Amino acid sequence: MNRQRLSLWWFVGTLVFALLSMLVPLPGALEPFKPYWPALFLLYWSLESEDRVTLGLAFMVGLAADLLNGVVLGEQALRLIALVFIALRFRSRLRFFPMWQQALAVLALLLNDRILLLIVRVLAGASLPPASWWISPFVGAALWPFLFLLLDDLRARLRIQ
Amino acid sequence: MARTRDESSPLFAGNAAGTLRLIVYLALAVVLMVLDHRNGWLWRVRYATAAVVEPVYRLAGLPAAGVRAVSVTFADRQRLTEQNQRLREDLLLANAKLNRMAAVAEQNQRLKELLDTQHSLNLNVQLARVIGVDLGAYRYELTLNMGARDGVRSGQPVIDARGVMGQVKEVLPTTSMVMLITDPSHAIPVVIERTGLRTVAYGSRDGAELSLPNIPQAADVRAGDKLLTSGLGGRFPPGFPVGEVRSVAPSASGMFLMAMARPSADLDRSEDVLLLHDQAEPDGPPAPVTPMGPPRDLAPAASASAAAPPAASGVRR
C-alpha cells in the first residue's frame, strides 16, 4: 500500500518537475536548445506505465502547462494529446525497439509536435519562428536515452513500478 | 512483473474507442483554444489561480536567482574591484552630466512655464525586478515581481538604464508580464534624433532587432542614427532612447526604405527595470468635455432656478 502511494507520488513528482523545468530559463545562447520536458516525461511514462497515462491525463498536464506558460488555453493540451495518443498506439512496438531506434521515434514525435505547434500559432496569427526554433526536438531526442535510463534506474532503486 | 496481455494493449491494431476518445479530446482542446483566443479567458483563469501560478514562477525563478547569487559569491575579488571602479567612474560621469543638465532642466522648466505647458522632466518610477522564468523562447516577454497590488497597470512603459524595454501587457496580483519592443506584434512610435523624422519601429522575427519598414525613399537615414520615442500615440513618453540604426536597405516592395535597429536597452540582461508611472500625455485630440448648458447668467431669469439645479455647478471647470 505504502509502496503504491510512493510510486504515485513519484509519478506525479516527475510530471511536476517536468513542468517546472519547462519554466526554468537557460542562458540566452542555450535557449533554443531547451527540450520540451513535459513531452519527454509523458512519453517515458506512457511507455513504462500505460495504465496511468491516459489521454485525459495528457489533457490535464497540457492545461496546467498552458496556464503556467500563458499561451492560448488548450494549445499544449492539444500537442500532448496527439503525442500521447501516438505513443500509446505504438507502445508495444516502441518498447522493444533498441535505444537508437527509440530515440529516432522520439525525434519523429517531437518534430510532429513542433509542426502541430507551428500550425496552431500560425492560425492564431503569429509570425514564423526563426530557424533555431527547430533545434529543440533534436536535443530532446539526443537526451532521450539518458533520460530513459536515468528514470528507469531511479525506479529500480526505489523499487516502484 | 508479469502483465496480463489483453486486448487493451494490442501489438498492432488500434481500437476504435481510443480513436474516439482522441477525437473528443482534440475537439475539446480546439474549442478551448478558439474560445480563449476570442475571449481572452486565460488571463481571467490565471488571475483566479494566481495563488498557485505565482509560487510556481517564484520556484522556477530560483535556479536563475541561485546562479546569480553564486556568481556574485564566487566572483573573484579582482573582477568585483574592477566592476566597482567602473561603476564609480560611471556614477561620477553621470553626476557631472546631471549637474550640467540641472541648469538646463531648470531653464527648460521656466521656458515651459512661460509657454504654459504641463510637461515635466521629473519621472515617477517604480523599481521592479525581473523573475527568471522562461515563457517560451518564441514569445518575447519578461516576468516582473510587481503586480496589481503594487499599483502596476497594464500599458505602463518599462525602461532600463539604457532605454525603453517594452510595456506591461498583463497584470497578476503580485507579478506582471512585459511585452518587449522586439516582439513582432509590438510597434513603438519613434523619431530619428538627427533628422527628426517620425516613423514606427516594429519588433522582428528573430527577437533581437527592431525593424523600421516604412521610411520614405527620400529620407535621410544612416547606420548609427539614434531612435528616440516620439511620444505620439500617448503610450510612451517622448525622448527615451529606443535603439540605434544598424543598416538601411530598400524594402522588398521597393516603395520604402527599410532600416534594422538594435534596441538600446539590455533586453536579455537587465535584472532591475523601471516602471514609469506617469503615462505620457496623449497627443491626440483633447478628451471630450462633459456637456454643459449655456452659462447660467445667459439663462432667462424666470426659468433659471428650474432648468439648472444647483448641483450642476460642480461640473463646471
Task: State residue A50 phi and psi, 5-degree precision.
Answer: -70, -20
In whole angstroms, give the CA distance from residue A41 to residue B110: 65
DSSP B280-293: PPP-SSPPPPPP--
End-to-end CA distance of chain B: 84
Q: Alpha-carbon distance A36 to A42, whole Å?
A: 10
State the nearest Cα–Cα gap between A145 and chain B, in angstroms: 22
Q: Which three cell numbers mark A66?
A: 498552458
Cell 535597429 appears where? B261
Min CA distance, A78 vs chain B (Å)? 6
Which one of A22, A55, A74 has the shortest CB-CB distance to B22? A55
Length of chain B: 317
Which residues have a Cβ under 8 Å from the Cβ of B235 and sit 6 or more positions away?
Answer: B155, B157, B167, B279, B280
Q: Confidence band (pLDDT; 50, 70, 90) for B313?
A: very low
What is the number of H-type helices and E-type strands within chain B?
Answer: 5, 12
Give me the residue label for grid cell 530598400.
Answer: B250
Residue B272 β-bridge partners: B129
pLDDT tens track for B194-253: 888 899 999 887 778 899 988 888 888 888 889 998 888 878 888 888 999 999 988 888
Q: Give the phi and the psi of residue A149 in degrees, each rounded to 5.
A: -65, -40
Average pLDDT over every residue of A135-155: 90
Q: What is the pTM of this model?
A: 0.67
Q: CB-based contact (8 Å) between B33 and chain A?
A: yes
Q: How many domains does chain A have?
A: 1
Residues in chain A: 161
B77 CB-near residues (< 8 Å, 6+ apart): none
d(CA B190, CA B281): 16
Restricting to A residues 109-148, those with a Cβ less than 8 Å away from any Cβ of B are: 120-121, 124, 126-130, 133
A83 touches chain B (CB under 8 A): no
Q: Which helix (H) or strand (E) holds B233?
A: none
SS3 at position B273? strand
Give B123's pLDDT tier (boundaries 50, 70, 90).
low
* Residue A33 · residue A80 · CB < 8 Å: no
- Say whether residue B132 is in contact with chain A using an 8 A CB cutoff: yes
Is a pLDDT exceeding 80 seen at residue B120?
Answer: no
Handedness of CA B250, B254, B257, B258 (dihedral sign): negative
Nearest to B203 by CA among B235, B253, B164: B164
Give the three cell numbers for residue A6: 510512493
Q: Is A89 on the interface with B (CB under 8 A)?
A: yes
Q: Are strands B210-216 and B256-263 parallel, antiparallel or unpaired?
A: antiparallel
Q: What percent of chain B has pLDDT over 90?
A: 6
Say if residue A96's pLDDT is above 60. yes
DSSP state of A149: H
User: Which residues span the domain enclosing A81?
Assistant: 3-158
Q: Is the pLDDT of residue B317 over 60?
A: no
Q: Torsion over CA of A87, A93, A96 and A99, rounded to 10 degrees? A: -50
Using one digit for the tens of pLDDT, what is the confidence trace for B262-290?
A: 998 888 777 788 888 865 455 555 566 66
Average pLDDT (B80-89) is: 88
CATH 2.40.10.350 fits B125-276, yes or no: yes
Residue in chain A closest to B35 (alpha carbons) equals: A73
When pLDDT is averaged across residues B47-69 and rounded to a whole number, the result is: 80
Q: Which grid cell sits at B192?
A: 530619428
> What are the domain boundaries of chain B?
14-122, 125-276
Q: Determine the average pLDDT of the residues in A98-106.
A: 90
Taking the C-alpha atoms of A151, A115, B15 and A101 in order, what is their torsion angle to the nearest 10 degrees?
A: -50
Instruction: Say yes or no to pLDDT of B310 above 60.
Output: no
What mean pLDDT, rounded, does chain B reach? Answer: 77
Q: Which residues share a beta bridge with B301?
A: none
CB-based contact, B184 to chain A, within 8 Å: yes
Contact A88 B170 (CB under 8 A): no
- What is the interface pTM, i.e. ipTM, of the complex? 0.80
DSSP result, A27-59: -GGGGGG---HHHHHHHHHHHH-TTT--HHHHH
Nearest Cα to Cα of residue B155 among B174, B139, B171: B171
Give all strands (DSSP E) within B217-305, no chain letters: 226-229, 241-250, 256-263, 272-276
Helix ranges (H only) for chain B are 16-39, 41-48, 50-74, 77-115, 304-307
Q: Does A67 touch chain B (CB under 8 A)?
A: yes
